[in-house]
Copies of this chain bind each other. A is one copy, B any other.
Amino acid sequence: MHQEPGRGYVLGVDAGGTSSRALLTAADGTVLGTGRSGGANPNSHPPAEAAAHIVEALAAALDAHNPGRVRACVVGLAGASKLTDPAVAELFGKAWAGLGLGCEVRVVSDAEAAFASATSAADGTVLVAGTGSIAGRIRQRRRIATAGGYGWLLGDEGSGFWIGREAVRSALATLTADREEPGPLARAVLTEALGAHEAHGTGLRTAHRLITTVNGQPPVRLARFAPLVSALADTDEAAGTIVGEAAAHLVRIALASRDAGERTPVVLVGSVLGEGSPVGARVREQLAGVDVLASSDGVAGANWLAAVEAFGEQAPRPLSG
């Protein structure tokens, strides 16, 4: 281990809906420990459980290292706005007080951690499209305004939920129109929703089963149809259209978060915008001339935000390996 005991450690956490990951580094970026636990979004988990998962990941990353020597700790939290509720904030505060860290814990949004994971720039735009969608205006590494992000009921255009819903609507339009033969996307939707034996179903009875099945499940489960759209973007006309519309919606909220002619980077986050995704490719096309980056790993971003806090702008990024 190459720790520099004279300068102390920094800790970062990426706390999302399905897992929490922590990363402890020395001042030179050397990785001293990592930790992992369950999901910690306080909107989808009981806040006490969410806080306990973060503490568990932090404790695992610290292992035998002296917590009192941690100089800065940043938690990038999905659902961070929940901590505007004083009761929830107090519960989180008490949970990590037990760790004996040598610093306060600073909570930032998962979008801020994602932005910092991709670039050392202080200003720019973060564009998130997973199950939901939201764009953020980043200034001095803080998200000072958002566009979109109303949640699936009121918006989230271009998100996995939205793409999945459009896929089902497209299949229904085909099934309820007398003259059309279901195409590859409609067949894929029917297979996913009703099983392979229904893949070639046609007509109103099949449409009715699809409607009933989808309406009988939690709305966000519609996001499971989104990968079908990505997979068929080049071969099914309806899928290609949905991809184009999703990209247009996402570009619209990204631009709403930017000044006219702004030249800062745009950081893409989330499965809909991931490596090789057709929506991501269209977004990059439409943002030609802008530096479009992929978020690498939120925990590295949170760790680096802690390092900047402790050691300044020139703090090294965590070294891999």
Contact = CB atoms under 8 A, between A and B. Distances in A.
A148 to B, nearest CB: 9
Contact of A211 (B147, B150, B176): B150
Interface string A198-229: 00000010001001001100010010000000
A214 B176 contact: no
A165 to B, nearest CB: 7
A52 to B, nearest CB: 24
Contacts of A1: none
A211 B154 contact: yes
Contacts of A150: 169, 172, 211
Contact of A154 (B151, B153, B154, B215): B215
Chain A interface SS verdict (over half): helix
Given A153-B165, A165-B154, A168-B154, A145 B204 contact: yes
A168 B150 CA distance: 10
Nearest to A145: B204
A81 interface: yes
Contacts of A172: 150, 154-155
B208 A81 contact: yes
A109 to B, nearest CB: 13
A222 B222 CA distance: 20
A264 interface: no
Interface string A155-176: 1000000000100110010001
Nearest to A217: B153
A146 interface: yes
Contacts of A151: 211, 215
Contacts of A214: 153-154
B165 A147 contact: no
A287 to B, nearest CB: 21
Contact of A176 (B147, B169, B204, B222): B147
Contacts of A219: 153, 219
A105 to B, nearest CB: 23
* Residue among A153, A155, A176, A222 with most chain B CB within 10 A: A153
Nearest to A147: B176
A257 to B, nearest CB: 10
A145 B155 CA distance: 30
A229 B172 CA distance: 29
Contacts of A204: 145-146
Interface of A: 81, 145-147, 150-151, 153-155, 165, 168-169, 172, 176, 204, 208, 211, 214-215, 219, 222
15 contacts: A145-B204, A146-B176, A150-B211, A151-B211, A151-B215, A153-B215, A153-B219, A153-B222, A154-B168, A154-B169, A154-B172, A154-B211, A154-B214, A155-B169, A155-B172
Given A151-B215, A153-B215, 11 more contacts: A81-B208, A145-B176, A145-B204, A146-B204, A150-B169, A150-B211, A153-B165, A153-B219, A154-B165, A154-B169, A154-B211
